Structure 1
Amino acid sequence: MLIQKIKLIRHAASICIVSLLTAVFMPLSAQCEENGTAQSEKLQKLIREVEKYEATYHALKLNLTSTKNEQDTFFIPDAPKPIIAETQIALDVQGLNFRQEEQSKGRFIVIVQRALGGLKQDPANANYTQSGTKERITVSDGKTSRYFWKEDVVAEKKGQQRETSIQGGISDKPMHLPNLARPHMFLMENGGPQVPLSTYLKSIKAIHSFPGRYYLRKDATLNVQILGTEEFQGLECTRIILEIIDPKGTPRTRRELWLARDRNLIPVRSLGYTYRDSKEMPISEAIVDKWQEVRPGVWFPRQAHYKRFDSFTVRRKGQQKLSWQVKYNINSVHLDPQFPPDVFTTLKFPSGTKVTVVKDGKIIKTIDAEANEL
């Protein structure tokens, strides 16, 4: 009888323990699932909002100045610093069709070998700097791309050789729209995928399905999190994280964005992290410094800057040392302009230009342009 009572007591105790565990852990599990669903719903809502704003900038005419300042590059440690080049950029955009004209002047780095610090380079074939002017025109209608570039520079090394070159090309492979033409990706012109922000927020598959340049592996995973609301430069922002995870499940890089609610959800700040260098200290930072209202309620950056820090110093010393930076001044923005019908399909090559024609990745012929529009 005593043994039977003990068994009944143990059975009752077991039921109590199971009931207690069920009461504790099942709600936690359900809560995690609920939180995940809520996060997903918030993200989908955010993507729809961004897509709505992106449509506002479908067609635009943009004029800006970029100034690149290389203060500490290990590719040319002995070159006089800083190395500064200014570029005037004119962009006509309609959907994925665009025409980009660039005029650059100043000093430029020519990378011949990528040995650290140039210390292991053959002096006769080492990296060097140039000074002078460069011109580049790119035209793409989504099917065919045309480009022209011209250089008139002097090599800043022994001999001070003058180098001039002119080249043109036509290809059946379209060029990719630069992020400078996308206000929501403006801060990611250096290093970000050349896709709309709404596409970037969706998935790796969505990114690779879009006609752009990616820098992201197809077998990687993109994890996007909304951290909440924060204030930056007096603007209420939605702060998000985009983390890239490799096929083995190891997180590799992270980008943090502050989307300004009162600026059409355009990022006002971007931080880039490479985990092999540091998870706590960014290797890049980009910020919109000033804004312009191009239409009532429609915004575009007026001034912005991008900073790139030396990865080696971040990794070894836990300090940020500026390697190079770019400052942007957006001189004018016009939405929904009227374009000539051939602005995205023709390029007038100067007389004497050798124009290379490429089809299916192969050069099929070279044309001597005589001021022809091709």
Structure 2
Amino acid sequence: MRQNPSGSRVISSGSMIRFSFAVLLMMSFAAPIFAESNDRLQTLIESLRKNEALYENLEVHWRECYGKQYYPEVEKASVPQSSDIEGHWISQQGKFYLNFEGQRTGPPAASGKTGIHYQKGFDGAQTRFLQLRHNYVGKIIKGPAYDYRGFHPHSIPLRWARTAVPLATFLSGREAILTHPRGTPGDVVSNLFPTAAYRGEEELSGLRCLKVTLYHVRNKGTAAERTSARRDFWLAVDRNYLPVKTESYNYFYSKKVPIETAVLENLQEIQPGIWFPFASSITVLDGIMLREKKRSVVSWKREYTVSEVSLNPEYAVEFYRNVPFPEGTPVDGGN
């Protein structure tokens, strides 16, 4: 490097050659590493998809308990304190049935109990749907009306998102989510591009796991692009790639402390080589306490306890049509 008559520095041709060579050298190392990481991610997603398919025909009975432990003042009139629900889910050759029934205890400002009831059946042609609001209402819908409340073991950590798409699809990005048969426009907000990355292999609770991170990239490809959150998954290779642990980081609150943690436990072999989590939970911290006080205060926790599970249920098609509407129920779509 030398100075020109004006005093500014000029890079010599030799220096430029050395600089260009260094850049090319770094690129030559980085490109294979990136390609290898992307290949591993795609292999992981394909393995996950194949394992999720093992549970397409499934019957599950479970209990779902929610409890809110911490109340900032603004939530005392709007957020329920607890709920206790019994769930029954069946999926069989494309047909499905859901019964989701229990009670909810209201917030401290109105702590009375109210009923919860969703019942839904799809017989391969139409969906019958009964829902308890203030009173019962019914719907008859042409085609399948998928429901996030259905019990898919790989998707337990995604129940926060209220999405019915499989985990492998969620890791495949925005277009895959929105074009999946179970996808809806509400699964991904307009400026969000979920972007997965393979992070390597780790051992967790004695299980060999592959770690993958799903970044919440906003305004991808624009000057305003940024990452607002991430979710880390540990997929247990020898347990059908079940996500035995996930940690979610919302960068508005903290990049270092997960605001949400989900775990799948009590894994039992329900058929040779097929495992199922008989206990799982999602724990969420209070965001304001985490951001302003740097304290990890549990806001709420939801726990799932499975009592019965079986693969390959066999019910006649009439079973999936048996969603009766109580007398006087208004029915949308009915004749």
TM-score bin, normalised by smaller chain: 0.7 to 0.9
Matches within 5 A, 1:38-77: 38-74=36-72, 75-77=74-76
SS of residue paired to 2:307:
strand
Cα gap change, 1:15 to 1:231, in 2 (>3 Å):
same
Q: What's 2:316 paired with?
A: 340
Q: Using the alignment, how far apart are the partners of 2:306 and 2:59 within structure 1?
A: 11
Matched, 1:212 2:200: no
Q: What's 2:120 paired with?
A: 138
Q: What's 1:244 paired with?
A: 216
Asked if the contact 1:308–1:324 (Cα under 8 Å) also holds between the matched residues in 2, the reply is yes
Q: Using the alignment, how far apart are the partners of 2:91 and 2:145 within structure 1?
A: 13
Q: Using the alignment, how far apart are the partners of 1:108 and 1:335 within structure 2?
A: 36
Q: TM-score, normalised by structure 1?
A: 0.77
Instruction: Write out per-residue CA displacement over residues 98-151 of structure 1, whole angstroms, 9 at most, x where no aligned residue.
Output: 211122135244xxxxxxxx9xxxxxxxx6232154332122356533222347
Structure 2 residue identity aligned to 1:149? Q
Displacement after TM superposition at 1:18 (Å): 4.5
Displacement after TM superposition at 1:212 (Å): 2.9
Cα gap change, 1:24 to 1:292, in 2 (>3 Å):
same
Structure 2 residue identity aligned to 1:148? L
Asked if the contact 1:310–1:321 (Cα under 8 Å) also holds between the matched residues in 2, the reply is yes
Asked if the contact 2:58–2:311 (Cα under 8 Å) also holds between the matched residues in 1, the reply is yes
Cα gap change, 1:251 to 1:296, in 2 (>3 Å):
same
- Of the three residues 91, 103, 106, the one matched with 1:105 is 103
Asked if the contact 1:139–1:146 (Cα under 8 Å) also holds between the matched residues in 2, the reply is yes
Q: Using the alignment, how far apart are the partners of 1:205 and 1:302 within structure 2?
A: 32
What stretches of structure 1 move > 6 A for 4+ residues in a row? none
CA RMSD between the two structures: 2.7
Q: Using the alignment, how far apart are the partners of 2:265 and 2:94 within structure 1?
A: 27
Structure 1 gap segments, 5+ residues each = 1-12, 110-117, 119-126, 152-163, 359-364, 368-374
Matched, 1:303 2:302: no
Q: TM-score, normalised by structure 2?
A: 0.86
Asked if the contact 2:192–2:216 (Cα under 8 Å) also holds between the matched residues in 1, the reply is yes
Structure 1 residue identity aligned to 2:122? S
Q: Using the alignment, how far apart are the partners of 2:278 and 2:112 within structure 1?
A: 30
Cα gap change, 1:149 to 1:22, in 2 (>3 Å):
closer
Cα gap change, 1:193 to 1:300, in 2 (>3 Å):
same
Q: Using the alignment, how far apart are the partners of 1:221 and 1:267 within structure 2?
A: 21
Worse overlay, 216-225 or 329-338: 216-225
Instruction: Write out per-residue CA displacement over residues 62-109 of structure 1, whole angstroms, 9 at most, x where no aligned residue.
Output: 100111111223454389x99332111010113553211122135244
Structure 2 gap segments, 5+ residues each = 1-10
Asked if the contact 1:205–1:218 (Cα under 8 Å) also holds between the matched residues in 2, the reply is no
Q: What's 1:357 paired with?
A: 332
Q: Using the alignment, how far apart are the partners of 2:193 and 2:202 within structure 1?
A: 26
Asked if the contact 2:177–2:187 (Cα under 8 Å) also holds between the matched residues in 1, the reply is no
SS of residue paired to 2:112:
strand
Matched, 1:170 2:146: no
Higher-RCO chain (CA-CA 8 Å, sequence separation at least 6): 2
Asked if the contact 2:80–2:104 (Cα under 8 Å) also holds between the matched residues in 1, the reply is no
Structure 2 residue identity aligned to 1:223? T
Structure 2 residue identity aligned to 1:130? G
User: Sequence identity, in percent?
Assistant: 23
SS of residue paired to 1:303:
strand
